[in-house]
Chains A and B, each alone.
Chain A
């Protein structure tokens, strides 16, 4: 059973890690596309439509990846975690049902019109379809984050015969961590998309595809990132304070902080040792963690040792993964802040726009194309591993929910998923840059999905 639990956890982590990459793109990219479309409607300038046409393809691709991996997620509840729905199904169920009914269908139906309807419907209907798809992805995010937040900070229910029953839907939906988590996630999506657009546009610029469409996309993305990065840092800080209030064990693990007390240093580097219950090779800034978490230099912060039961049972998450993923998130965020500000500053200087960006900055943007993914995944691990051993904080543990499926069976499906995911992820990244290269050579990048123009041998790329 232990092995099944571990393998099921790895499988779920793999599935959700793969899945989250694509909603992270589509949530914000839908709105960016709407922005391009509205600018086109307002100005009539082709460059906005050029940007729309390129990025709508990436949207379609990301959307398909998100849909298929999302379906996998929805089945995993039943195949691997039946205990979850049996115990809290009365609460999780309606939230998921509302996601499917208010969001999934909206996105799926209007996506067809958004992608292929430009010549079939009036322009305003096409713009409207773009809006509805963007709105649908945001609704979807809302319901999923509501459920996820409720699992972190559950309220508005009572237990009857070991099953959760809803008593107050308002309290369930607007649970204490939901507003922070939702804002943090939506901003993460916008930043991920900003860096993706900036990176791919910089790539096209560098290899000579210097069109007006590339120019507006790059500008929009860099300025967007520069504006949103400080907002995200502020929201992240508020989210952290909220977590400190409701899940202090998680914050203690994020900080790598063992003993409750004041004057807590902000640890920059350490190797947390859960057996010895101390940090090795600790490098920290004195008192800064106290200040950040309590806004007082000697503020008292709860340590991990408070979360060990009398009988020695550990009730806090494993420290090292939470500690490290938190640092990866912060580190990536700082890099994103610095780069977006530097690039914005250079573009604004003497109003030279994209022309004002030196090559190293363009290369850095290309290199950071997927920095949003890194930060999002790291943040996701921080919050989700940080909830362990609880599945629903204080209500049920992860071990209680797992299915009694033989371990070899879970292992075989895990391997199958990993292989498929690795192939698809490589293909996804490859195709994005393939389209960018093809576009930069001024070739038709497949505005026609079907049928292909009759045998065009020169359409086959040289490589």
Chain B
């Protein structure tokens, strides 16, 4: 077991990496389908059905990455799991109610009597909005160190709004890829509007993070780390510019590269995420508990790791399979 050195060092690191990976996959994948829900009220009735069709076969698997992320936090860093979730008790509860409403609305809106459909559409929107807002709020509270003060709550309200805008932006780019015609044109407009909110949001978080913690400030603005870090803001700026340029000209002839805005938006998430992960490492509860202090016993982590090495590639493989089966423009969802 000591082949790779001290397991109390590398195991927590590996698990922090796995947890980070599943959070990242979650915010990209469930990010776009939550975004579609947030954009729901802006669409016409028949467009709503088409928007559902773009995410119908995927949303459940997308959401499972959240379960995995929280599961990994729970199994790898139990002390941090308790500390973080009890501090975020109320936003977590709001998120859960949101996830419940959204998840069941998919099924009910298609099966309930026609007059009830509007009700379930509203539940779908409300659930998506509650989920996005509360996740954004949790992100803000996490950045601010999980302390309930007026300033922190106010900041978290801002991140709540901006994460929701970010989700609807990536949601719009997904709809651009999966649809054509009027709905696609509409999604291009949504994305055009959303991109500025996204820039503002990333900028705000990037400014607040080093101000809250001198440790992070030093990490960002010390030589030569700053040089190594510089590709992140530079690449992000290039991505934003590319998105802005593309969206002004879309859709291209023959609907070429309709997937590109979604890919660019996902890459933007990845940049923001790497920045966050770099800043907070090695802490799992900001400024209080490091991943090494919070980790479970090595023998338990080892048991999970062995399984993960086999299972994670399998999961990724059949996720790719599912996206391949339902590739191309969304068509009507049929049970038969």
Interface residues of A (CB under 8 A from B): 49, 53, 56-57, 60-61, 63-65, 67-72, 74-75, 77-79, 82-83, 85-86, 89-94, 96-98, 100-102, 104-106, 108-113, 115-121, 163, 165-166, 169, 403-405, 409, 413, 416-417, 420, 424, 427, 430-431, 434-435, 445-452, 454, 459-461, 463
Contact = CB atoms under 8 A, between A and B. Distances in A.
Contacts of A118: 334-336
Contact of B76 (A72, A93, A98): A93
Report whether over half of chain B's contact residues are helix, strand or loop; otherwise say mixed.
helix
B63 to A, nearest CB: 7
Contact of A97 (B89, B107, B304, B315): B304
A303 B299 CA distance: 41
Interface stretch (B67-75, B275-283, B285-293): B67-75
Residue from B52, B76, B336 having most chain A Cβ neighbours under 10 A: B336
B36 interface: no
A69 B103 CA distance: 10
Q: Which 9 A-B pairs have the closest CB atoms?
A: A82-B82, A93-B75, A78-B85, A112-B57, A451-B49, A89-B78, A450-B49, A449-B333, A68-B103
Interface size range of chain B in the complex: 35 or more
Interface string B202-221: 00000000000000000000
Contacts, number: 259
Nearest to A401: B82
B223 interface: no
B99 interface: yes
B67 A100 contact: yes
A146 to B, nearest CB: 13
A109 B320 CA distance: 10
B106 to A, nearest CB: 6
A77 B115 CA distance: 38
Interface stretch (B90-98, B156-164, B170-178, B247-255): B90-98
A93 B304 contact: yes
A136 to B, nearest CB: 11
B304 A447 contact: no
B15 to A, nearest CB: 10
A180 B73 CA distance: 31
A420 B100 contact: yes
B27 interface: no
A96 B71 contact: yes
B81 interface: yes
B311 A101 contact: yes
A104 B107 CA distance: 19
A450 B52 contact: yes
A311 B46 CA distance: 70
Contact of A96 (B74, B92, B312, B335): B74
B235 interface: no
Contacts of B311: 101-102
B58 to A, nearest CB: 6
A166 B300 contact: yes
